[in-house]
Amino acid sequence: MDRFSEYRVMWVLVLFDLPTETKKERKAAAEFRKKLLNDGFTMFQFSIYLRHCASMENAEVHIRRVKMSLPEFGEVGIMCITDKQFGSMEIYHNKKAESASAPGQQLELF
């Protein structure tokens, strides 16, 4: 199979709902977001971050990092989708359709 096949290339999505009632909870939520950003994730929506990965094996590395950074409280979901599935997503901004292109340029060194 082609190394960069749209079925091999993966997107890791991290979806979360974290409590922010207290200063300690807000700090934990901010630290979790910062760790996602430091690991190459991009904010897609306020509580949805995503990362492009060259393969499922590469995605598993980043999933392990997310699991090691989980905050004490709140809910976190981690999902992988293929590049093909990501490309078929319908995105709307103020009722206007937008393309499901990558959220920004990302450089990966192998």
Which option is the CATH number for 10-85: 3.40.50.300, 3.30.1360.30, 3.30.1220.10, 3.30.70.240?
Answer: 3.30.70.240
Enumerate residue ranges in the chain where pLDDT < 70: 1-5, 100-110
Exposed e or buried b per residue across 14-48, where buried means at least 16 C-beta atoms within 10 angstroms of its C-beta: bebebeeeeeebeebbeebbebbeebbbeebeebe
- For residue range 6-30, list pLDDT tens digits in order: 778 999 999 999 999 999 999 999 9
**pLDDT of amino acid 96:** 87
